[in-house]
């Protein structure tokens, strides 16, 4: 059974080590989420410390998934965008522990992220993901529209260049 929780800044602070371990697991498993395979515990902790600070400023929403009390996934919704885009949010850093993949965690996180975005008054969501990734297939299954591919947009954790597919979804 997947339990979804919206974490506030205090929750994120309390979960920093677990959040960091999740990020490291995903990066070492090949996820292209802004970090290289050499990611350290301090880099992962620092990243989620900055996320906690953004939560405190009400700039983001952090959704977490738990199975049997263990953190197995997260996704972020960036809601603080320029004033001419009050209707829009960005989905970022969908992370699912390798041990929990194939159990519906990513689907549950994305569906709840859409619900929370709607509740925040958002009518348009955007995201990008590594072209050819499992995440790309997930977004397509969930009804997201692919806009196109930006070639050589980023590096995979192993240093190989990869394209990024840009998606949007009208809510």
Tens-level pLDDT at each residue, the chain (171 residues): 999 999 999 999 999 999 999 999 999 999 999 999 999 999 999 999 999 999 999 999 999 999 999 999 999 999 999 999 999 999 999 999 999 999 999 999 999 999 999 999 999 999 999 999 999 999 999 999 999 999 999 999 999 999 999 999 999
The radius of gyration computed from the CA coordinates of the chain, to the nearest angstrom, equals 15
Strand, coil or helix: 16:
helix
What pLDDT score was predicted for residue 22?
Answer: 98
The total of structural domains in the chain comes to: 1
Phi first, then psi: give them for residue 14, nearest 5 degrees: -65, -25
Sequence-distant (6+) residues with CB within 8 A of 169 are 114, 124, 125, 142, 143, 144, 145
Sequence-distant (6+) residues with CB within 8 A of 103 are 2, 67
Question: Which CATH number fits the domain that encloses residue 9?
Answer: 3.40.630.30
- CA–CA distances in Å: residue 22 to residues 5, 6, 14, 16: 16, 16, 14, 10
Say if pTM beats, i.e. exceeds, 0.95: yes
Range of the domain at 12: 2-170
């Amino acid at each position: 059974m997947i339990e979804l929780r919206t974490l506030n800044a205090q929750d994120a602070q309390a979960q920093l080590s677990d959040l960091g371990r999740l990020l490291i697991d995903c990066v070492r498993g090949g996820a292209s989420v802004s970090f290289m395979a050499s990611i350290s515990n301090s880099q992962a902790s620092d990243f989620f410390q900055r996320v906690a600070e953004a939560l405190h400023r009400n700039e983001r929403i952090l959704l977490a998934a738990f199975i049997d009390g263990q953190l197995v996934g997260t996704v972020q919704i960036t809601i603080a965008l320029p004033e001419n885009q009050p209707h829009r949010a960005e989905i970022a850093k969908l992370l699912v522990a390798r041990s929990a993949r194939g159990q519906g965690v990513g689907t549950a996180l994305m569906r709840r992220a859409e619900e929370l975005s709607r509740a925040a008054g958002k009518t348009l969501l955007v995201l990008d993901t590594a072209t050819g990734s499992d995440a790309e297939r997930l977004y397509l299954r969930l009804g997201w529209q692919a806009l196109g591919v930006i070639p050589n947009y980023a590096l995979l954790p192993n240093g190989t260049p990869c394209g990024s597919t840009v998606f949007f979804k009208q809510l």
